[in-house]
A and B are shown apart, each in its own frame.
Chain A
């Protein structure tokens, strides 16, 4: 791009046609999924319905939270990739109030989903010992605190970005420093809340199991899903202004490299957890893996290994693929599907010992896409798509610096 660019024009540009095309494609899939969920609600029992609901919920909140993490990371790290993805991250974080509402069905059915919330937990000495933490009132209180922190961070950062769009550009100073001042402690709070969230909402499904790396593993999966989702959105909008001006092969290369790094990070966390539990060989921990690596779920462990790690890892080694937006977005879509499979493989075996993957798991993920994507695209279209007033935007994105 030449240097005669106009930030004010770039801030006004809206790829209306592309946005509505992507949005309607997402909503169509979501509509089909929602119809299938409605059918599932009638056809299957409520336990199966709630399991699938929890899996889908963890997938979509993973995109909201992963976006919050990457938003704060790019505020701290700088770099062209972050400036290009910033508005996508912000639009995704502003779906968190929706996720708070969608949490209500889980909160209302604690006894169905969580062993520790049932009356018979009083007869299990291990659960009695954990009751100070694992009890419904404290669980609700923590959930309220998580959402308060996430929504507070997300909407404060979004509000400041909006202010930046609406005022004349200024050089580096307090108005962009405040993003970093909040993002630093914000990331610490994020890691703590998401760690406890993953313990509360996923790990405590099997209240005898414990793994200290579980929270980090959850964050890694969220980051990977968010990068894949962001690649798909940027590729979908790369045909028209203003995204076409800022997504060069260089930017897709950046996102491809980050996705490769997160594929490896996710695998590293997983291997660490497996290696420690396998080496220790403790009776409290190993049933979790015996259930998932042997018997009915064994083929799905292979699918996760090959599809979630080996295939994307080998594909993303290619420099040409990473620089090719369309090819990269296909890998990204595949990674998103594998994220769902990984969540099914993580959560499903808690409940299903004789069966494995249920069609409702996938239908529910699609069904929840309906409200999530609707809100996401509305958020995305309501603001400028590039932070053209950011003091580092010209240097990093327009002049292709570092």
Chain B
């Protein structure tokens, strides 16, 4: 742990609470405009454009889905090829062992299945889930984030973070309140 992290190791960051989705969206745009990068927002429902406003444009799941789809495709075809041509060839109505036409449905299904699995699993893993503990739970009113309130957090790990200045900046966005969140 370096000196910088040690000095602020007790504080996770600052969190502002807003009353509406629109207020949160506008605040997120200003926070991004001010140059903060390690931010997150919490709301009771999905808000159109919020992820973009916070600069979350990375799409890390896509390559996993593609890889999953390709593996599923090869597994599906390979499985049928192995069983019907190599391991246990059977003469069915005089058709060739390698009947690629009838291999298509299973190949297609496994492609979709593996792609869907890798989409779901990679999404969960890349999000760091399951995560039973998160510092934001230390904020007293955070339980309302699942019902009525909208929160915007700036982490202390953000290179632009400064306890005093950041708190003043968040206060200027007209939140309901700004709280410091312990690690």
Indicate whether A and B interact: yes
Could you tell me the distance between the alpha carbons of A154 and B48 in the complex, rounded to whole angstroms?
36
Known: A317-B66, A319-B59. A281 touches B93 (CB 8 A): yes
Contact with A along B37-69 (1 / 0, CB 8 A): 000000000001000000000010010001000
With an 8 A cutoff between CB atoms, is B7 at the interface?
no
Could you tell me the distance between the alpha carbons of A387 and B165 in the complex, rounded to whole angstroms?
49
Of B59, B62, B102, which is within 8 A of A279 by CB? B102
Residues on A with beta carbons closer than 8 Å to the beta carbon of B95 = 281
Please determine whether B48 and A271 come into contact, CB atoms closer than 8 angstroms.
no
With an 8 A cutoff between CB atoms, is B79 at the interface?
no
Please determine whether B48 and A401 come into contact, CB atoms closer than 8 angstroms.
yes
Could you tell me the distance between the alpha carbons of A323 and B101 in the complex, rounded to whole angstroms?
34
**Interface residues of A toward B: which range?**
10 to 19
Could you tell me the distance between the alpha carbons of A275 and B62 in the complex, rounded to whole angstroms?
31
**Interface residues of B toward A: which range?**
10 to 19
With an 8 A cutoff between CB atoms, is B104 at the interface?
yes
Of A271, A319, A401, which is within 8 A of B62 by CB? A319
**Shortest distance between the CB of B106 and any CB in chain A (Å):** 12
Please determine whether A278 and B93 come into contact, CB atoms closer than 8 angstroms.
no
Question: DSSP majority for the A interface?
Answer: helix
| Chain B: CB-nearest residue to A276 | B101
With an 8 A cutoff between CB atoms, is B105 at the interface?
yes
With an 8 A cutoff between CB atoms, is A315 at the interface?
no
Q: Which of B13-44 contact A (CB under 8 A)?
A: none
Please determine whether A278 and B101 come into contact, CB atoms closer than 8 angstroms.
yes
Please determine whether B101 and A275 come into contact, CB atoms closer than 8 angstroms.
yes
| Chain B: CB-nearest residue to A293 | B101
**Shortest distance between the CB of B71 and any CB in chain A (Å):** 16
With an 8 A cutoff between CB atoms, is A274 at the interface?
yes
Could you tell me the distance between the alpha carbons of A401 and B104 in the complex, rounded to whole angstroms?
39
| Chain A: CB-nearest residue to B94 | A281
Residues on A with beta carbons closer than 8 Å to the beta carbon of B62 = 319
**Shortest distance between the CB of A312 and any CB in chain B (Å):** 16
Q: Give me the interface of B with A, judged by CB distance under 8 Å.
A: 48, 59, 62, 66, 93, 95, 101-102, 104-105
10 tightest A-B CB contacts, nearest first: A278-B101, A271-B104, A275-B101, A274-B101, A279-B102, A275-B104, A275-B102, A281-B93, A319-B59, A275-B105
Residue contacts A-B, CB under 8 angstroms, 9 given: A271-B104, A274-B101, A275-B101, A275-B102, A275-B104, A279-B102, A317-B66, A319-B62, A401-B48
